[in-house]
Amino acid sequence: YQAKEGGGSVAAYDSTRDAASTDQLALLAELREALEVDDQLVLALQPAVDLATGAPTGVEALIRWQHPRRGWLNPIDFIRPVENSEQLGTFTRYVLNKALGVAAGWAREGLDVPISVNLSARSLLDPRLPAEIAEALRRHQVPPHRLVLEITETVVMSELEVIDEVLSTLRSMGVQLAVDDFGTGFSSLTFLTRIAVDELKVDRSFVIRMADSPEAAAIVRTTVGLAHELGLRVVAEGVETAEQRLALAELGCTSAQGYHFFKPMPADKIGAVLGSLRDSAESNVFRLRADG
Ligand code: C2E
Ligand code: MG
Ligand code: MG
Ligand code: MG
C-alpha cells in the first residue's frame, strides 16, 4: 500500500490531483450514507459452470453501486478509495452479509451452490474478521463450506503474520479460500506454500491470450496442472468464446466463468438460472449414461 504523503511534500501544487482527492472524499462520504441508509449497493451474481456437465460450480458476488447522481458504478470506480479508508470494515461486513443472505435463499430452494465473495487484502488485517464471519454464517444459517473467500496475494510483506493467522482461522472454521487472478501477483507460488487454499482462479488476461500466445497457453496449462497436483479446484475467469471454452476443457480445466456462459446478473434472477442449470446438467448426465 502506498502510504499517504505527509506535510513534507515539496511537490508543486497540482490542481488535478487536488480535485481528484476532493472527489474521493465526497465519494467516501456518499458511501457512508449508502452503507447506512438504503440499498444503493447491490450484488451482481455470476455463475461458474462445470465444463463437462454445465452444472453450476459456484456463484461469484460482484459489488455494484447504484449511485443516485453518478449512475451505476463498478468496483473499479470506488473500491480503491474504500480500501484505503476506515470504512473498509463496514463495507466488507455489508458485502458478506448480503452475499450470505442470497445464499441462504438458495438453500431454501434446495440449491447447494457455494457463493464466492471478494475480500480486499487489507480487510484480512482485522483479527476480528473470522469471528464476524462465523456470526454472519450462523445468523444466515449458511454452512461454512458454502462460503468461498476470494483473495489476491498482493499483501504487504510485513503484515504476513496477521493475514496468515486470519486466513488459517477462517479455513479451520470450514470456510473455503480461493486465490483470485492467479498468476498476476508477484508471489503466487510462495503464497500456496504458506496458506492452504481450495481453489485457483486463472486470471482473465491469460484466458484472453491463450489462442495466440504460447506463453499464455503454457501458463494456463501449468496452473491447471498445479491445481490438480495440489488437489485444488481450478476456475478459468473471463471466458468469452466457444474456442476458449474448448481449449480450456482440452487443458483439463474443469470449471469456467465468463460472458460466454453468463454475465453478472441481479440477485432476483440467479435462483431460477441455478435451478435450470442444475436440471439440464442432470438430464445431460442421464443422457450420457444412456448413451454409454
Ligand atoms: P474479479 O474478482 O477478478 O472479478 C472478475 C471481473 O471480471 C468482474 O468485474 C466481472 O464482472 C468481470 N467479468 C466476468 N466475466 C467476464 C468476461 O467474460 N469478460 C470480461 N471482460 N469481464 C468479465 P467487476 O465486477 O467489475 O469487478 C472487478 C474487480 O473488483 C473484481 O475482480 C474484484 O477484484 C473487485 N470486486 C468486485 N466486487 C468486490 C467486493 O464486493 N469487494 C471487494 N473487495 N472487491 C470486489
Ligand atoms: Mg473474484
Ligand atoms: Mg479474478
Ligand atoms: Mg481478474
Which residue's CA lies nearest to atom 42 of ligand 1? 118
pLDDT in tens, 233-255: 999 999 999 999 999 999 999 99
What's the CA-to-centroid distance between 62 and ligand 1, angstroms? 6
Which residue's CA lies nearest to atom 8 of ligand 1? 62
More confident residue, 287 or 81: 81
| C-alpha dist (Å) from residue 226 to 1, 52, 58, 234 | 29, 20, 21, 9
More confident residue, 203 or 283: 203
72 Cβ closer than 6 Å to some ligand 1 atom: no
Can you tell me the distance from the alpha carbon of 97 to that of 82, in angstroms, rounded to the nearest whole number? 17
DSSP assignment of 267-286: HHHHHHHHHHHHHHHHHHHH
More confident residue, 284 or 226: 226
Which residue's CA lies nearest to atom 19 of ligand 1? 238
Query: Residue type for 227, please?
Result: A
Can you tell me the distance from the alpha carbon of 166 to that of 195, in angstroms, rounded to the nearest whole number? 10
Of ligand 1's listed atoms, the one at least distance from the Cα of 201 is 3
**Spatial CB neighbours of 114, under 8 Å, sequence gap ≥ 6:** 58, 59, 103, 145, 146, 147, 148, 176
Q: Which of 5-19, 132-146, 250-264 has the lowest mean pLDDT?
A: 5-19
195 Cβ closer than 6 Å to some ligand 1 atom: no
pLDDT-above-90 percentage for the chain: 72
Mean pLDDT (the chain) is 89
What's the CA-to-centroid distance between 124 and ligand 3, angstroms? 18
Continuous segment of H or E residues that includes residue 160: helix 160-172
Can you tell me the distance from the alpha carbon of 278 to that of 73, in angstroms, rounded to the nearest whole number? 32
120 Cβ closer than 6 Å to some ligand 1 atom: yes
2-11, 102-111, 232-241 — which one is most confidently predicted on average?
A: 232-241
pLDDT at 17 over 90: no
Task: Compute the average pLDDT of residues 152-181.
Answer: 86
Which residue's CA lies nearest to atom 9 of ligand 1? 62
Task: Compute the average pLDDT of residues 115-132.
Answer: 95
pLDDT at 54 over 50: yes
pLDDT at 16 over 70: no
Task: Compute the average pLDDT of residues 204-216.
Answer: 96
223 Cβ closer than 6 Å to some ligand 1 atom: no
Instruction: Tell me which of 62, 95, 177, 262 to substitute to probe ligand 1's pocket, judged by most ligand atoms within 8 Å of the beta carbon.
Output: 62
Confidence of residue 260 (pLDDT cuts 50, 70, 90): very high
pLDDT in tens, 62-106: 999 999 999 999 999 999 999 999 999 999 999 999 999 999 999
pTM, whole model, 2 decimals?
A: 0.92
Which residue's CA lies nearest to atom 25 of ligand 1? 62
